[in-house]
Structure 1
């Protein structure tokens, strides 16, 4: 009997290996290709209109597709749109949709789905954080703010395959915006029938290369190849399995132990070691993004500009990138990172100049003056037990500890540290429930405005609650001007004002070190997206 049980157990293990192995052949059967990775945080929503961070967008970019998409070389290419035309007025686009574009449930993707999705995201009752990205549409802002009609929003389905879009003003990067997840379509019929369609894999419908089949909250997400996808023949993976693990070291241990095939986030010490060893598994991906700290300027003494500047001046950014992050990051010189070009085709960052420096002497002077103006002594400041809030991650913790020590030695202040889950951090920032908070922003499109409009007074992502009418006016001028020189001069001036006021403290400009097993092929990394696994393959 015991021998029989052992034999059955062996057969079961063999069968399990066949079903879960990556590309392993048994007889005439090839096991499914499942790429295993980690998403690091539980998504707040897998509804494109409600998503607000990379913990959601990485999954979304694999299960949805917009009118346009990004190619491997970073250029903007057709997605669901088969073609487009821009009228002589430079604000009217006519998109022709592919006739073979389908939803994961087999429905055709129509122009009406796009019209519905964009107007839904603007609906003030939905309260989408990213609604402002649709303000480029004529009447979009008015509708979202309750001052206009949905019918006046500049998006209209002319027929099943024709979408007309009218903008408020000419916008050179609008095609790139249509590749951003807030502009993804949703299935009108599905959404109208079930308001909770996006909360469960069983009811979720999408139009991308993969479809959501499993969502075990705070545990794992599985997306499987969408055979209805028009480009399905090029999709080699059968599925991608995302674990949901906050701890980078645990994720790395699983990767090094063979449980993961790919990791988009790698502990800094590991990155440094792999680079030193010249490992074939490490890639330093380019990234247009900025790591920074929000300051709650609604409370004293952070409402004093000298105190804010002192905190910024006393951070040694070079030490942070060379001794802590160690992944090719660049000390921040402002809020807009390198990688975007200006009106002359030159590096935008170079034209703005270095607006953030390290100067302990000046920091001490400003901090003393600022505290006095705030009517506070150093002892009173420390008695407040101010807290630096960050989301759970060893990297964020080490950076926070380093900054905490820099402020202690340079300014004599004691700052507490607190770590929470990413979504909790986002919620507390929105509520203004923090003193100082760790933040980061990856560009949504390749223009400096994707950073500068964050701190527009009414922006839903303005967690620092910054409000400067002069800054707002310059952002408005840049958005409304058709003259490239006027646009970029306004953005350069706006950034200079922002850094003079220092509502946020830029720390460094991102890169994205990631690792993949040598048998993983076909991954590519656009500057403004997480690594794309859509056309990846497993070749063992």
Structure 2
């Protein structure tokens, strides 16, 4: 039971809630760049009067059971929201969106930017007190690059020399360009100069693993307990599967003095109305992004009362086609289904969270031109023409001969309403019959990964602030590319961009690649995401980046 902070929250009610959020809106109302946080961290001490200090326990909703709490195996926002609190890389993104030394105390780059030397902190420790060594990083990266381990994000490591070749089994692991020369020194060689490499080292694919623990217990990440060791500001204290996760402050963390929270309780509530009700009743301190949702029906009222914090996010909501299944192996049929959607209607009347219509894949925070898009929204004339041409190519005399169309989505209010709207648009505009199919997230995502879908709701939020992060998903059929689409010209352009040192020329190459992607339409872009949330006004110092990630390292209650 929350003590002083909880009683304050329940006693003051919605009036103070609204006032606090109005102030927050005033501070956050200006558009921000992709890598800028919505709320600045602080390391100021909490009030000096000890008797007046609130309990430093943060309660939030993490929406669902994490798919995994192994840094090398996760690929979803709910798992990553835990990992970003419990683990730390060689660098950490600060309140201004800039990578700073974290596990590494010193970072040196060669003049050609092909070799990085990281020197570990003397006081870098795991949550069990073991020292964090350079070997822990080398072994973790090589673990992810062993294709037998099933790391969907292994491709994020392909910037390292020979990493992609090792993943494909073409070279031996010892040829990968990462080497711990001793416990304190990690030397990394890259394939090409990579301007965002220090951002990558703050991402969970680059997090270390406790070598000794992993060797002794291969299942170390499946439960809370002595085997689960991490190196971030917090440690995993309890894991009540499908109910709640509890994190506590990691006393062995190198920067523990900056951490004010003593505990984080992460509930798993798959209902937006319940989440908002718990916030208003004082049982949660946060509702909405990055891991929860606010009720769509409540959005107009919340917005009118000034209770929403809305900031741009480097993310795109889309539907994915399984291009290996009929009829969506045909490009023209994919295009027809995309052009027959009224995106403006969806963002204005369903999502209502300040999203921008997306007729491109890379968000405007990375390609400003994409605010205008690469095709016309709700182009019914072209949709009908393309559908007719596609059916003729496939030998279908009319829409009744098309294979049954199933639209899949995970169980959640917003996804249901969007899917129902799209079903109605496709049936009215194209004359096709569409069946809806929804499942709980973990089951749903497993089916998507295994290709058991025709059209499925997904999307992407940037892992780092560069367009390649959105485009490289579709470079091969591996990893996070559930569409099974690939294109040699597209892959060649991405490879050329990696070698181009001139920023303007590199951008032009990537934009040419995006045009191919959008023309081939393995995904239907709907809208560019925004970060939308409400919070206990007593909570300060949470950093929400322009990529939508949350950091609680600096959070505290005043």
The answer for the alignment partner of 1:12 in structure 2 is none
- Secondary structure class of the residue paired with 1:143: helix
The answer for the alignment partner of 1:421 in structure 2 is 440
Deviates more, 1:353-362 or 1:38-47: 353-362
Separation in 1 of the partners of 2:2 and 2:354? 39
In the TM superposition, 1:259-408 aligns within 5 A as 259-263=283-287, 264=289, 265-279=293-307, 282-340=308-366, 347=368, 349=370, 353-381=373-401, 384-408=403-427
The answer for the alignment partner of 2:243 in structure 1 is 219
Aligned-pair distance for 1:469?
1.0
Separation in 2 of the partners of 1:337 and 1:528? 11
Aligned-pair distance for 1:338?
1.3
> Which of 89, 93, 107 does residue 116 from structure 2 map onto?
93
In the TM superposition, 1:159-174 aligns within 5 A as 159-174=182-197
Aligned-pair distance for 1:419?
1.2
Separation in 2 of the partners of 1:218 and 1:515? 24
The answer for the alignment partner of 2:549 in structure 1 is 530
> Which of 441, 444, 447 does residue 460 from structure 2 map onto?
441
- Secondary structure class of the residue paired with 2:148: coil
Whether contact under 8 Å (1:334, 1:356) holds in the other structure is: no
The answer for the alignment partner of 1:483 in structure 2 is 502
Aligned-pair distance for 1:21?
5.2
Judged with a 3 Å threshold, the aligned counterparts in structure 2 of structure 1 residues 285 and 240 are, in CA distance, closer, same or farther, namely farther
Separation in 2 of the partners of 1:184 and 1:206? 10
The answer for the alignment partner of 2:21 in structure 1 is none
Separation in 1 of the partners of 2:386 and 2:108? 54
Matched, 1:79 2:109: no
The answer for the alignment partner of 1:60 in structure 2 is 83
Whether contact under 8 Å (1:332, 1:356) holds in the other structure is: no
Judged with a 3 Å threshold, the aligned counterparts in structure 2 of structure 1 residues 319 and 234 are, in CA distance, closer, same or farther, namely same
Judged with a 3 Å threshold, the aligned counterparts in structure 2 of structure 1 residues 380 and 523 are, in CA distance, closer, same or farther, namely same
Matched, 1:233 2:277: no
Query: What's the TM-score once normalised by structure 1's chain length?
Result: 0.91
- Give a deviation string over 1:317-343, Cα, whole Å, max 9, x none: 1111111111110000211011126xx
The answer for the alignment partner of 1:13 in structure 2 is none
Aligned residues: 515
- Give a deviation string over 1:460-495, Cα, whole Å, max 9, x none: 111111121111111111123333333222211111
- Secondary structure class of the residue paired with 1:287: strand
The answer for the alignment partner of 1:256 in structure 2 is 280
Judged with a 3 Å threshold, the aligned counterparts in structure 2 of structure 1 residues 394 and 272 are, in CA distance, closer, same or farther, namely same
Separation in 2 of the partners of 1:57 and 1:167? 25
- Secondary structure class of the residue paired with 1:115: helix
Aligned-pair distance for 1:257?
2.3
- Secondary structure class of the residue paired with 1:213: strand
Whether contact under 8 Å (1:385, 1:414) holds in the other structure is: yes
The answer for the alignment partner of 2:533 in structure 1 is 514
Whether contact under 8 Å (2:203, 2:463) holds in the other structure is: yes
Whether contact under 8 Å (2:55, 2:557) holds in the other structure is: no
Separation in 2 of the partners of 1:502 and 1:17? 50
Matched, 1:125 2:125: no
- Give a deviation string over 1:90-135, Cα, whole Å, max 9, x none: 2000112221111111111111111111111111221211111111
Whether contact under 8 Å (1:201, 1:214) holds in the other structure is: yes
Separation in 1 of the partners of 2:232 and 2:53? 24
In the TM superposition, 1:493-504 aligns within 5 A as 493-504=512-523
Aligned-pair distance for 1:79?
1.6
> Which of 218, 221, 244 does residue 195 from structure 1 map onto?
218
Judged with a 3 Å threshold, the aligned counterparts in structure 2 of structure 1 residues 88 and 81 are, in CA distance, closer, same or farther, namely same
Unaligned segments of structure 1, at least 5 residues: 1-15, 342-346
The answer for the alignment partner of 2:31 in structure 1 is none
Whether contact under 8 Å (2:92, 2:202) holds in the other structure is: yes
Separation in 1 of the partners of 2:315 and 2:476? 21
Separation in 2 of the partners of 1:173 and 1:262? 31
Whether contact under 8 Å (1:176, 1:445) holds in the other structure is: yes
Judged with a 3 Å threshold, the aligned counterparts in structure 2 of structure 1 residues 373 and 65 are, in CA distance, closer, same or farther, namely same
Deviates more, 1:326-335 or 1:301-310: 301-310
Judged with a 3 Å threshold, the aligned counterparts in structure 2 of structure 1 residues 484 and 31 are, in CA distance, closer, same or farther, namely closer
Separation in 1 of the partners of 2:117 and 2:460? 31
- Secondary structure class of the residue paired with 2:79: helix
What is the alpha-carbon root mean square deviation over aligned residues?
A: 2.2
Separation in 2 of the partners of 1:110 and 1:132? 24
Aligned-pair distance for 1:80?
1.4
Matched, 1:109 2:118: no
Whether contact under 8 Å (1:522, 1:533) holds in the other structure is: yes
Higher relative contact order (CA 8 A, sep 6+): 2
Judged with a 3 Å threshold, the aligned counterparts in structure 2 of structure 1 residues 398 and 275 are, in CA distance, closer, same or farther, namely same
